[in-house]
Structure 1
C-alpha cells in the first residue's frame, strides 16, 4: 500500500486544505484487460490554500510503483471422453487445453505424467503407455499432425490466450491392458525470449514487503485437481484423461454342418455313397451388439476318404442351404483376384480350406461353404 501524506501549511493567515478520497473496489478483470505486469503507475497530489485572500497551490512528490505479476493458468480436457485404443496401437492421442490467465506473456513447460498413484478417476489404471510425449498444437486446428506439431513447450502465450496440447504414446500388446490414466502437468515459465523455453517462474517470497520499483511474482492459481496432484498457489496445473483399451472380446461362435447334395443314384434322398457330393457349411456369428470382430479366419481340414471339389469355396451372407448370393473364391493363396471383401484359398498339401472375413459386425452371421466328393 502506498500512502501519500500532505503536510499542513500554517502561515500568518488561515490555511484551507483540499484532499482526494480513495475510490471503491475495482471491477473484475480478465487477464487480458488487467494491467500488464511491469507497468509503471505514477501519480501526484495537490493542495490549494489561501493566505490573506491570495490562492496558492502546492504539489506533492510523485508516488510510483510497478504492477506485479499475478500468475494463473488453467488446464482442462479438450475431449469429451477418454481415448479408445487397440492393443499395440502406435501414436494414440489425447488432447488438453492450456490457458494463460496471467497478466503477462508466459512460456509453459509441459510434462506428460503417469504412474500417478491413487487418484479420483472412473476405472483402474493397470498399464502404462510407452513413448509418452507432449506436443503443442502449433496451428491450433485441434488435430494432431506429426510433421507439424513438434513443439514440446508453449512459447510466448499472451494473457487469456490458449493452446491445445496433445499427449501421444504407444499402447502395449499385453492382453491384460485395459486402462492407462495419464495427466498433462503444466508449469508457468518466464516469457520474453521467443523460440526458447523459459526457466520455471519463481514466486517472490510473500513475507517480504512489496517493492515499489520491482515486479513481484505472486502465484494465484487454484488447486486444479483437489486430489494432491496439484497444489494451491504453486504456478502449476494439471488435468487427467485415459487411454481405454475397451472391449477385447466378443461373443463369437462357429457352427459346422453338412448336407449331401447328390449321390448319382437318388434325386430325392441322396445318401453318403462313394462319388456323392457333400457340402460343408461353416457359420460364424458375432452376437455382441455394436462391436465388430476383425480378421475372422475360418479353417477346416478336408477329411480323409474325401476329395476337395476345386473352386467350390464360397463366402457370404447366410441363406439357402448355406450361403446366399455368396462370393466364389479361387483356390490359390493370392488374394488379388478374389472378390471383396472376403478372401479364401485351398492348400492341397495340407488339405486345408481357409476363409477370411475382414470384419464381422455385431449381430451378424457370415457363412463359408465348400464341397467334397466321397472317395
Structure 2
C-alpha cells in the first residue's frame, strides 16, 4: 500500500495558482487604505493525481493596515496682520489638513519666539492672551463667542479646517510679533472628547494598528521636526509705524535793504526771507497733513503774498514754488499746498499734504524790518 501510494504521488503533477487576496471590510480614504482594515490573503493549489483534479488552500495570512500619520498647516492669508497698539482680539488665520489615513483629533496652540532663522524679520514684542480657535461655521472669519472650540474634533482623512490665532497687542509695543500655529495629531474616535497626542509605535506588530509618523519638517529651524506628528505655520502681527524722523530747519537771509544790491544788511526797511525746510528721514513711510506754523518776530512786518511752498532749491524753494494768497480758504484754490497769514496772531501757516519718506518740502515768506 505504501509503495502504491507513493507511486501515485510521484507520478502526479501539480500547478500552483495565482494568489487570491481579499480584504475583509475593506475601506479606502483619500490618503490610502484606512488604518485598522484587516487584509487577508490566501493561496490555492490545483493538481492532478492519475487524471483526477484536486485543489487545496493555504492558511490565511493576515495583517492590519497601520496608521500613517501626516498633517499640514499653512497660512490662510497672503500678508501679515496689521494691528494697532492696544488692539484686542487681533487675528491670524491658518488651514489645517489631516493627511492621515484615519479620523483624527488635532491639538492646537499658538507659539511665539520660535522663528529665529526663518528670515521673517525681528520679533520685538510679545502678544498677550494668544489662543487658537477652530472656525465653527466654515466662513473663514473669526466670530467671537461662536468660534470657541480649542481643538479640531474628529477630522476626516484629507479633511481641512480653518483655525484662528487670536491675541491682544500690548498698549506699549514695538513693531513685529512673529507667531505660529502649532498642530499635533491626536487620537480620534470619540466625538466631543479631546484625544491624547499620538506616539509612534516602536515595535512592528502585524496584528495591531501601529502608529507611524510620516510628516515633514515644516520650518527647518528645529521648532518642528521630521516625522514627529506635528506641523507649524508662521505669520506676524505688524504694528503700524506711529512716527517718522521728521525735522524742521529754519534759516533766514536779507533779500534787500534799499542801500546795497550786492551786500544787503539787516537795516530798518530791509526785506528778510525766512525758510522753513521740513525733511522726512524715514524711508518708505510718509508724514501726512504736515502743518508748519511760524509767528513772525517783533519789529518785523509780514510782506503780503510772499508765502510760497514747494520742493527745496535755490535759496529756499525750487523755481519760486507755489505761491499762496495769505487767506485760510485755500481749499478751492486748486493748489497742492495750503498757506495763510493770520493778521491777528501774526502767524504764518503752511500746510503740506504729505512729505514722503526720504523727501523734503520747503516754505518761504518775507518780512520787512520795522
* TM-score tier after normalising by the smaller chain length: 0.5 to 0.7
Q: 1:276 to 1:244 in 2, by over 3 A?
A: same
Structure 2 equivalent of residue 221 of structure 1: 215
Q: 1:101 to 1:330 in 2, by over 3 A?
A: farther
CA distance in 2, matches of 1:348, 1:170: 49
CA distance in 2, matches of 1:115, 1:295: 37
Q: 1:225 to 1:362 in 2, by over 3 A?
A: closer
CA distance in 2, matches of 1:340, 1:161: 59
Identify which of 158, 163, 177 aligns with 1:180.
Answer: 177
Is the CA contact (8 Å cut-off) linking 1:279 and 1:372 kept in structure 2? Answer: yes
RMSD in angstroms over aligned alpha carbons?
Answer: 5.3
| Cα displacement (A) at 1:113 | 0.5
Q: 1:262 to 1:246 in 2, by over 3 A?
A: same
Structure 2 equivalent of residue 48 of structure 1: 46
| Cα displacement (A) at 1:111 | 1.7
**Partner SS, residue 56 of structure 1:** strand
Structure 2 equivalent of residue 26 of structure 1: none
**Partner SS, residue 37 of structure 1:** coil
CA distance in 2, matches of 1:210, 1:328: 92
Identify which of 205, 209, 219 aligns with 1:209.
Answer: 205
Q: 1:204 to 1:185 in 2, by over 3 A?
A: closer
| Cα displacement (A) at 1:55 | 1.3
**Partner SS, residue 221 of structure 1:** coil
| Cα displacement (A) at 1:298 | 3.2
CA distance in 1, matches of 2:335, 2:171: 29
CA distance in 2, matches of 1:139, 1:368: 57
Q: TM-score, normalised by structure 2?
A: 0.65
| Cα displacement (A) at 1:70 | 0.8
Q: C-alpha offsets along residues 155-184 of structure 1, whole Å, 9 cap, x if unaligned?
A: 665545666656555555657x35534322
Q: C-alpha offsets along residues 234-290 of structure 1, whole Å, 9 cap, x if unaligned?
A: 321224455567988766543323466788x78979976667765533121335654
CA distance in 2, matches of 1:267, 1:372: 18
Structure 2 equivalent of residue 282 of structure 1: 276
Is the CA contact (8 Å cut-off) linking 1:329 and 1:338 kept in structure 2? Answer: no
Larger Rg: 2
CA distance in 2, matches of 1:341, 1:173: 36
**Partner SS, residue 218 of structure 1:** strand
CA distance in 2, matches of 1:355, 1:137: 51
Identify which of 71, 79, 89 aligns with 1:73.
Answer: 71
Q: C-alpha offsets along residues 18-45 of structure 1, whole Å, 9 cap, x if unaligned?
A: 265799xxxxxxx835212243433433
Identify which of 359, 368, 374 aligns with 2:363.
Answer: 368
Alignment of 1:294-309 (within 5 A): 294=288, 296-306=290-300
| Cα displacement (A) at 1:324 | 1.8
**Partner SS, residue 229 of structure 1:** coil
Structure 2 equivalent of residue 199 of structure 1: 195
**Partner SS, residue 113 of structure 1:** strand
| Cα displacement (A) at 1:71 | 0.5
Unaligned ranges ≥5, structure 1 = 1-9, 24-30
CA distance in 1, matches of 2:195, 2:336: 56
Is the CA contact (8 Å cut-off) linking 1:127 and 1:178 kept in structure 2? Answer: yes
Identify which of 231, 241, 254 aligns with 1:237.
Answer: 231
Q: How many residue pairs are counted as aligned between the two chains?
A: 349
Unaligned ranges ≥5, structure 2 = 22-28
| Cα displacement (A) at 1:128 | 1.4
